[in-house]
Amino acid sequence: MTSTFEIDFEPIGKRVDVAADSNLLDAARQAGIGLASVCGGEGTCGRCRVVIMSGKVSAPVDADRRFLSQLELSSGQRLACRCHVHSDVKVHVPKASLVTDQRLQVNGVARQMQIEAAVHAYEIEVPEPTLYDLRSDLDRVIDALETMHGQRKWFAEPAVVRTLSALARRTARAPSGPPTQSVGYGQAAWHLTVYARGHELVGFEAPGRKPIGFAADLGTTKVAGYLVDLETGEELASTGVMNPQIGYGEDVISRMVHATRNDDNSSELARVIREAFNVMIGSLAEEAGVSRDQVVEACIVGNTAMTHLLLDLPVHQLSVSPFVAATSTALDVKARDLQIELAVGAYVHVLPCIGGFVGADHVAMILGSDLDRKPYVAIGVDIGTNTESALLKPNEKTLTSASCASGPAFEGAHIRDGMRASTGAIEAVKITDAGVQIKTIGDAPPVGVCGSGIVDAIAEMYRSGVINNRGRLNREAASVRKNEQGWEFVLASADISGTERDIVITQSDVNEIQLAKGAISSGLETLMAATNTAPEDVEEVIVAGAFGSYLDLDSALAIGLLPRLPNAKYVQVGNAAGVGAKMALLSLKERQRAQQIMKRTGYIELTTQAGFNSRFAMSMLFPKNNPS
């Protein structure tokens, strides 16, 4: 019998040989295809839909029938994680099933700051060795540094020294300027840039090569990366990519479960994100016109689970109650120990975390939005699969944080036609007497609906009476109809969609949004109650993060996703965590401030707070004072 079969993924055009009886999700991972999988391959999310074009596969199972109608199954649609191959197979991957091509928010509202980077560059001239001067290469560099810059006790590890000798001799030329104590008349000299982190020499480069830093916001869904001049603070290049760990589960719990199944899985999750960083750094360096060896320092922030998986730290204790991190302190790790390709002696700095579900990205968000320095009561909220919020009471000099599992609905998961913010995703909705008006990303034919579009659609459906305050669909409303599973509202008909089928919001979708917005709203109310903060006390609500950047605030307030606070202004600040990562990259003082934020921030577990369950139940309702 044949032991391997060829899987042809179209229209991507990728082929891969897999063992007989492998499932198509594993085959996609092996081929490097980012196939959506919220549940990490457990058959419970229904996102990894593919179409079998030819070949023999296993029969449909209950999971297939749970998410796919009989008509869809008859047309060859299957869940990749539950479909095993019994021959060579050709598979069509719908665009909505891919995790690539997402619109990624990398920018935030930055501010001026004093540069005090961890790494400095020193230009030196060093006399070449002679029969009368037999000092080692490193000793003569250190002597020149002490003579020209007045500092002492320099040192370098062997991996850095290994790069010195050949580079120094390539830079030899006649000395510039008048003779000094280190370079005599007529004697050739090495001309070098030395990168120093405190007293440690972390790299050598040709003269004139500025020190460059890399900052990253390692999100559960996306990774934002920035290349920054460490002397001027100028951002040289930035980009955003999908987190490749999505193929192992869209939420952190799924990934931690995968990591704990065996030691190899944990290393695999670390490997794929490290490789993504290497590709990102290479493309950013090329765009900025700098050498990878000039990148001498990095600062990475992420939630506690993401930084643990990056560092290959144990996560089992993080995934079960009471959800304890392996470490919460700031860390400095050699980049090469993480297989991240920077200057040979470069370090990666990871900001501290506050708790099991409030991580370094939350500290960076507070840092980047200046929440800790507001002169009035303010709330910062970063909406995502996990939504973290922090409340500042300046008179008491305290910050209090909380985290709620708002679920992946705002990423399009668990929504019938949900998708991430990719080309063709419906991102804005308006319901008028003339019907439903939609706006899609890229003005392309609609293929699904992303988070901002879902919030808009629900708000418009409520305002126009398509749903009531309990979230029930009005069966008499226009565009509401019954399907095999229940009732649904048609957002875009098949004749205008890019999928040749209707794009709908189902009753189940409305319920998912109610759960997500209920978690966030009740979390904020409980945070305010736990800190004795009255609604009228709050003067600013800072909405951060990628989803928050595109969220229509009026829609968010209309459905009760965010509370209506009478004296508060609502401000969208973009990727504040990315801004905080850049600030910590550029300033040792900001790293100290991050430590202070961690120490002064208390954490409350929402489920232990009195009244949380009743608040959560009430928050799933839509506000009765909704404007019509």
Is the model's pLDDT at 103 over the cut of 60? no
With a cut of 50, say whether residue 348 has pLDDT above it: yes
Q: What per-residue confidence (pLDDT) applies to 334?
A: 97
pLDDT value at residue 175: 58
Return the minimum-mean-pLDDT range out of 79-83, 419-423, 572-576.
Answer: 419-423
- Angle between helix axes 304-311 and 360-369 (nearest 10 degrees) is 120
* Mean pLDDT value of segment 337-358: 94
Q: Can you give the pLDDT at residue 294?
A: 96
pLDDT for res 178: 52
Residues 116-121 have a mean pLDDT of: 95
pLDDT score of 204 more than 90: yes
> Of residues 99 and 308, which shows the higher confidence score?
308
Is pLDDT above 60 for 101? no
Q: Is the pLDDT of residue 217 over 80?
A: yes
Q: Is the pLDDT of residue 64 over 50?
A: yes
- Predicted local distance difference test score (pLDDT) of residue 107: 57
Confidence of residue 110 (pLDDT cuts 50, 70, 90): low
Residue 312 has pLDDT above 60, yes or no: yes
Per-residue pLDDT band for 174 (boundaries 50, 70, 90) equals: low
Q: How far is CA 169 from CA 125, 154, 188, 389, 566, in A?
A: 12, 21, 10, 55, 69
Task: Name the token pair of 537.
Answer: 């006390």
Q: How far is CA 5 from CA 16, 18, 26, 27, 486, in A?
A: 8, 6, 13, 10, 40
pLDDT at 172 over 90: no
143-152, 271-280, 368-377, 616-625: which has the minimum mean pLDDT?
143-152
The amino acid occupying position 104 is: L
Position 176 pLDDT exceeds 80:
no
Dump pLDDT digits (tens) for 247-262.
787 678 889 998 998 8
**For residues 514 and 113, what is the distance between their CA atoms, to the nearest angstrom?**
41
The pLDDT tens digits for 138-165 are 999 999 888 877 777 889 999 999 999 9
pLDDT band at 362 (very low <50, low <70, confident <90, very high): very high
Q: Which residues pair with 489 in a beta bridge?
A: 480, 505
Which band of pLDDT confidence, cut at 50, 70 and 90, is reported for residue 628? Answer: very low
Does residue 505 contact residue 416 with C-beta atoms inside 8 Å?
yes
Does pLDDT of 51 surpass 80?
Answer: yes
Higher pLDDT, 50 or 185: 50
Q: Which helix (H) or strand (E) holds 141?
A: helix 137-149
Give per-residue pLDDT as tens, 447-500.
888 888 999 999 999 999 999 999 999 999 999 999 877 899 999 999 998 877
Per-residue pLDDT for 69 more than 50?
yes
Residue 405 three-state SS: strand
Residue 173 has pLDDT above 80, yes or no: no
Report the distance separating Cα 571 and Cα 380, nearest Å. 10
pLDDT surpassing 60 at residue 264 = yes
On average, the pLDDT of the chain sits at 88
Over residues 364-399, the pLDDT tens digits come to 999 999 999 999 999 999 987 788 999 999 988 889
Q: How far apart are CA 192 and CA 121, in angstroms?
A: 10
Distance of CA 589 to the CA centre of its chain: 25
pLDDT, residue 303, reads: 92
- For the entire predicted model, the pTM comes to 0.80
Question: Is the confidence at residue 520, as pLDDT, over 50?
Answer: yes
Who contacts 145 (Cβ-Cβ below 8 Å, separation ≥6)? Answer: 122, 124, 151, 154, 194, 196
Higher pLDDT, 307 or 406: 307
**Residue of higher predicted confidence among 517 and 418:** 517
627 band by pLDDT with thresholds 50, 70 and 90: very low
Residue 1, pLDDT above cutoff 60: no
Least Cα distance to 238 among 571, 552, 585 occurs for 585
What pLDDT, on a 0 to 100 scale, did the predictor assign at position 105? 46
Does the pLDDT at position 185 exceed 60? no
